[in-house]
Structure 1
Amino acid sequence: MSPEIFQTVEWSRAQFALTAIYHWLFVPLTLGLGFLIALMETRYYRTGDLFWLRTTKFWMRLFGINFAIGVATGLILEFEFGTNWSNYSHFVGDIFGAPLAIEGLMAFFLEATFIAVMFFGWNKVSKRFHLAATWLTAIGANLSALWILVANAWMQSPVGCRFNVETVRNEMTSFGEVLFSPVAINKFFHTVTSSFLLAALFVVGVSAWYLLRGRDRETARRSIGMAAPFGLLFALLAATTGDRSGAEVARVQPMKLAAMEALYDGEAGAPLTVFALLRPEAERTSNETSRRLRIEIPKLLSLMSYRDVEAYVAGINDLIRGNPEQGILSAEEKIARGREAIGALARYRTAREAGDRQGMAAVERLFDPATPEGAEFLSEKFAWFGYGYIDDPARLVPNVPLLFYSFRIMVGAGLFFILLLGVVWRLNSKERLADKRWLLRLCILAVPLAYIASQAGWVVAEAGRQPWAIQNLLPVGVAVTKIGASSVAVTFFLFLALFTALLAAEVSILCRQIKIGPEKE
């Protein structure tokens, strides 16, 4: 890979990461707050209590501010697939484009249609229709997340597709396999439940601010009464879906799991590291040299990964050097097999240019799963296609400290939120929360912590699969558009300035609206 392309890859990765990070600052609040607002309006519809009408309108204002900026960053993110990752778009556009197209045609238009009624339909449509519009807006936002997460899950574990040797593209063979793959299902539910948790913490935090200042007490108390049990429920569900996601990672992305645990030497009955300090990279070659001050739970990693306390969990060294006893191929063997697959593709191009139909047919049989040689070739060679572009096995190891600490921030924060929301719910139900000023301050601090934990989860998901744009099939170095690094660098800083300005604007407007508070009678 030329130095220029290397710089382009790094700038393109940085730009995409920047856009994704800023976009995800807005999305989780939208996903969860929409349903909380719908529940509040449902309470108003059933009781006719004007308190719930005022409360719904207040939280709806905050939802609208966040929603608008989230849409703006999301559109930029989708365009970057074409501008910065054109080789990726060509290679898998038939598959990746399908869920994104459905997201635009179904979810986005559902949101766009009913959000106008939700905000401007008060006293213009019936209560029932307005309530339906609020629920459909919330559902539309989450359907949008569904299709985007399905596309992302396919990148983590490509299924339901077949490689077309003539067009050099992966083509979808089963939409059901793509939609209902275990990785997609777990990714969607874990992302949504954690987003609902974040929204609940946001409502609890804002309400705690009111209680600290002795204003809008009824709004704060009753909002917490709805948000705290809502958040506690989804915190528990997020833990459950996270456990299932971890088991899927062990199955389809063992290197990610090994990096998350800083596990260099595989073990049977592997312990889960609760916390440890990692040594500098130059000192890390084995489990004994990688970590210090370890706190571990015996056999728990094996149990969580494979539902067997004695299961063998592969380490980084196993995945790089190979482990024949455990049936683990070395990176060098995978690279060799990947290059055989690339060589077959090159032979097809040569035969086609020479008009050699016999030679073309011979290669086509290799890529046809219906033929015996094709079934073997696809499972033994083409399954490692992307490895053929890897020139150094060390590139297959993601940033271990980044994953190790990010994972523990996410999990540790999740456990803290379960405890916090349980205590807040109980005290609020007994009308004793307002006196616990230290706890109210903790509720406010939990809001930024929820965003940090949410971002940490995406760091684990995305940085953990490096160097792959598509797991095992396409490295980022091949997926990138061949444009000048300086062009990408310029847009990186433009986006940085734009997104920072949008974030500052949103925080400023949100704070102003929170200070104004709910409408008075």
Structure 2
Amino acid sequence: MDVESLVSWSRAQFALTAMYHWLFVPLTLGLGIIMSLAETQYYRSGDNFWKKSAQFWQKLFGINFAIGVATGIILEFQFGTNWSNYSWFVGDIFGAPLAIEGILAFFMESTFIAVMFFGWGKVSKGFHLASSWLTIIGATISAVWILVANAWMQHPQGMVFNPETMRNEMSDFWAVALSPTAIVKFFHTVTSSWTLGSFFAVGVCVLYLLRKRNVEFARRNLKIIAPFGLIAALFTAFTGHGSAVDVAKNQPMKLAAMEAIYDSGKCTETGCTEDGSGVSLGIVGLLNPNKQLPDDGKPSHIFNIEAPRLLSYMVAGTGTHYVPGVVNILDGGYRLPDGKLALSTEEKMRRGRIAIDALNAFRAARKAGDSIAAEQHHTVLMENFPYYGYGYFTSKYETVPNIPLTYYSFRIMVGLGGLFLLFFLLLSWYAYRCSEKMVSTRWLLWTGVILTPLAWIASEAGWVVAEVGRQPWAIQNLLPLNAAISKIEASSVMITFALFFLLFTIMLVAEINIMRKAIKQGPEQH
């Protein structure tokens, strides 16, 4: 079995499924709020216009929801088919949030979504409104537990390793569920999904205005959508900052890749850089494509516009805070926030191999009935277990993620996020101050059309930063990908990759066509 090829194809298949799935999920979360806001207006005013608006958005929500569920189920099955060692090693922990998501959130969604779609005129207005809100609340709760599971992969905690079973077992459920990483990831992901859903709704409305169809529908709905999108974009920026601070604390290699920082110098008495001046934030730059290794001596950028000290200030609130670069993390020797010196990656690899050997020796001693030797090996194992995953690497460079992909994806996400914020600010002003002029303000309408697909690009870029920046770890600092893989043939993964690609593309084309027809029919045909 070619392990490298197997890992590459399994990663590609999982990335394919995840990125297709994420085309639908944020639209579900964002559009669900918009349809519920429209129905709230109907409940408060009794205006039949808002009832038709709510039914229109609900129809689009339902089309998208169905496709999102289908891709999500396939995604979760891949943990068992392609990543069975991962599932065995941490299934006791990782499986718990997924089980709660299925039992609590999915049943909640499926119960109230039926009332939402088929309960018009059959239940009271208040109960129907509650069902609409509970449907999207259920979808958001579903996102909570998925993101808790993902956050644990980024920053594992609340578990102990049991060498008897070769599994990590949960020791503190609340440490897993309420970790700072999970909290910031949830809020950033959900608010960015609201932004995307707002852009989809804006795209529909501005198309109507450009074609001078359903003009009243577009104008009145934009008075809800534009301020909601503005609030969502503001919260996305705020929570994105919190997420970056968490990355700086728990995943320094990811932050170094996001900023393409290779060498920040060493700690000194005056500060934690060579001159105590802090680390700059790269604003716009072009990476050197000829740089192959972090420490090959070649320049990292062809050009780079920086803001002095800003990165240090953003992650720690002080302009002299030390942010290690890739080379610094590989070589170690710099001072950590707790005062200890960072170990080099090669030292971590050495200790990881000690942990692996101690685990094998422990199991052999237990099998032979030698309890004294087993206890000695257990002690060595536990002392070195924090570096267990490093023992599977043969070179320190294997621990470095794809820097260009992470760097550019981060800038696409942040740059588009700033553009979205400015657009929603302008749109909100026009929606309330110049509503009658919006039909003739074609530059604003065309900007809305152009930015709508870019919302998906920004959203996907965010996940590229989160997941590619964590590589080569399946679980940060605990389990690398080459140890998490299933023992299957790479050829079988290649075949299923092609099948999934064909299936997902057909589903995407089908959704686009169904959505297009529903939008063309307009709110009058619900």
Query: What range describes the TM-score normalised by the shorter chain of this pair?
Result: over 0.9
Take 2:181 and 2:138, find their aligned partners in 1: how far apart are those partners?
A: 22
Query: Is 2:352 the partner of 1:338?
Result: yes
| Equivalent residue number for residue 175 of structure 2 | 177
Task: Show the 5 A alignment for 1:85-484.
Answer: 85-266=83-264, 268=273, 269-282=278-291, 285=294, 289-324=299-334, 327-365=341-379, 377=383, 381-430=384-433, 431=435, 432-484=437-489
- Is 2:355–2:380's contact at 8 Å kept on the other side of the alignment? no
What is the rounded CA distance, in whole Å, between the counterparts of 1:220 and 1:281 in structure 2? 50
SS in 1 for 2:503: helix
- SS of equivalent to 1:270: coil
Q: Residue by residue, what CA displacement relative to the aligned partner does 1:361-407 show, whole Å, maximum 9, x if unpaired?
A: 3334556xxxxxx5xx1xxx211110000111111111111011000
State the distance in 2 between where 1:281 and 1:68 align.
45
Aligned residues: 508
> How much has 1:471 moved relative to structure 2?
0.5
Distance 1:477 1:123, change over 3 A: same
AA aligned to 2:455 is: A
Retained in 2: the 8 A contact 1:90–1:169?
yes
Q: In the alignment, what sits opposite 1:70?
A: 68
Q: Distance in 2 between matches of 1:259 and 1:365?
A: 35
Offset, 1:307: 2.1
Deviation sequence 1:109-142 (CA, Å, 0-9, x none): 0001111111111111111111111011000000
Deviation at 1:98, TM superposition (A): 0.3
Instruction: Give the whole-Å Cα distance in 1 for the aligned partners of 2:319 and 2:220.
Output: 45
Provide the C-alpha distance between the structure 1 equivalents of 2:303 and 2:390, rounded to a whole number of angstroms: 36
CA distance in 2, matches of 1:181, 1:65: 34
Q: CA separation in 1, counterparts of 2:345 and 2:117?
A: 55
Cα–Cα, structure 1 residues 93 and 520, in superposed 2: closer, same or farther, change >3 Å?
closer
CA–CA separation in structure 2 for the residues paired with 1:281 and 1:462: 24
**Long gaps (5+) in structure 2:** 266-272
Q: How far apart are residue 347 of structure 1 and its match?
A: 1.2
Give a deviation string over 1:459-510, Cα, whole Å, max 9, x none: 0000001000001110000100010111111000000000000000011111
Distance 1:440 1:212 in 2: 7
**Distance in structure 2 (CA, Å) of the matches to 1:343 and 1:363:** 9
TM-score, structure 1 as length reference: 0.95
2:270 is aligned to none
The code of the aligned residue for 1:205 comes to G
Deviations 1:78-97 (A, max 9, x none): 00000000000000000000
Q: Deviation of residue 283 (structure 1)?
A: 6.1
Pairwise mapping of residues 503-514 of structure 1 onto structure 2 (< 5 A)? Answer: 503-514=508-519
Secondary structure of the 1:276 match is strand
Report the alpha carbon displacement of residue 325 of structure 1 after superposing the two structures with TM.
5.3
Task: Give the 3-state SS of the residue equivalent to 2:523 in structure 1.
Answer: coil
Identity %: 57
Gaps spanning 5+ residues in structure 1: where?
Answer: 368-373
Cα deviation for residue 344 of structure 1 reads 1.4
TM-score by length of 2: 0.94
Letter in 2 for 1:332: E
- Distance in 2 (CA, whole Å) between partners of 1:283 and 1:202 is 40
1:7: Cα distance to partner?
1.2
| Alpha-carbon separation, structure 2, partners of 1:306 and 1:486 | 47
Quick one: which amino acid aligns to residue 106 of structure 2? Answer: F
**Partner Cα distance (2:350, 2:51) in 1:** 65
Aligned match of 1:370:
none
Cα distance in 1, alignment partners of residues 14 and 372 from structure 2: 43
Deviations 1:320-366 (A, max 9, x none): 12234562211101101111111210111110221112222333455
Question: What is the distance in 1 between the residues matched to 2:477 and 2:210?
Answer: 53
- RMSD over equivalenced CA pairs, Å: 1.4
In the superposition, relative to structure 1, how do residues 501 and 467 fare at CA in structure 2: closer, same or farther (>3 Å)?
Answer: same
For structure 1, which segment, 106-115 or 324-333, has the greater mean C-alpha deviation from structure 2 after superposition?
324-333
Task: Give the conservation status (yes or no) of the 8 Å contact 2:359–2:378.
Answer: no
- Greater than 4 Å deviation, 4+ residue runs: 283-288
Q: CA deviation at 1:291?
A: 0.8
User: 475, 486, 496: which is aligned to 1:491?
Assistant: 496
Q: Matched residues in 2 for 1:5 and 1:296: separation? A: 41
C-alpha contact 1:164 1:171 (8 A) present in aligned 2: yes
Residues 163, 363 of structure 2: 8 Å contact kept: no
Counterpart code for 2:247: V
SS in 2 for 1:292: strand
Q: Aligned-pair distance for 1:257?
A: 0.5
Structure 1 match to 2:28: 30
Report deviation, 1:259: 0.7
Q: 2:400 corresponds to which letter in structure 1? A: V
Measured after TM superposition, the shift of residue 438 of structure 1 is 1.4
* Partner Cα separation in structure 2 for residue 288 and residue 295 of structure 1: 18
Does structure 2 retain, via aligned residues, the 8 Å contact 1:283–1:290? no
Query: 2: CA distance between counterparts of 1:465 and 1:312?
Result: 21
